[in-house]
Amino acid sequence: MPVAPVAFQLPPPPRRVFSLTISPIHLTFPIVELTGEIRAHDKLGLAMVAGVGRYTDKSVDISAAVYELGAQLRFYAIGDFRHGMQLGAEVLYVHLSQSNLSLRGEGLAVGPFVGYKVMADAGFTFDAQVGAQYLGLRATDGYSAETGEEFIVLLNLNVGWSF
């Protein structure tokens, strides 16, 4: 009696619920910026952004500590949390300080973006976003303060892992 061949199927990839990525672009400053995104729904992600490092501008001889804290809301218009096109918004606070000169600066950036996320079955994740942001700035030297505002381009290219 002949035996029917058995079809071999790979199990489906695990359902990942959290992505942790790093921005290689920020490492050139050097600032370590991490983004953690949680899957609130297949079509919705909530992300927190945190960064710390040092910004140096040798042309004006300034080196300042940098801290970043922000959040993103991501809607996956095409695809889902695992592999899809994002429409979203970001709010990011940045603080710079140089203690020996009493210089401080801070800014708040707010704006929309469009992006795309790709997650491999093993968990490797690539995330890219481009958008426009309104940036409000404030700087002080301990005696006087200056404010400003401008529009800037948002560009995020992150790599990491999803769990």
Read off the pLDDT of each residue in 87-98 and give the average, rounded to a whole number.
96
Structure-block tokens of residue 59: 């042309």
- Of the candidates 133, 96, 94, 117, the residue with the CA atom closest to the CA atom of residue 21: 117
Q: Give the SS3 label for residue 15.
A: coil
Structure-block tokens of residue 104: 């401080």
pTM, rounded to two decimals: 0.89
Whether 4 has a pLDDT exceeding 90, the answer reads no
For residue 162, the tally of other CB atoms under 10 A from its CB is 22
Dist. CA 142–CA 9, nearest whole Å: 67
> What pLDDT is stored for residue 38 in this prediction?
98
Which numeric CATH code is attached to 18-162? 2.40.160.20
Counting residues of the chain whose pLDDT is more than 90, the rounded percentage is 79
Q: Where are the domains of the chain?
A: 18-162
Dist. CA 28–CA 79, nearest whole Å: 32
- Could you read off the pLDDT of 24-45 as tens digits, one per residue? 999 998 999 999 999 999 999 9
User: What secondary structure letter does DSSP report for 26?
Assistant: G
Q: Cα–Cα distances in Å, from 115 out to 9, 111, 127, 143, 144?
A: 32, 13, 7, 42, 40
Residue 26 phi/psi, 5° resolution?
Answer: -65, -25
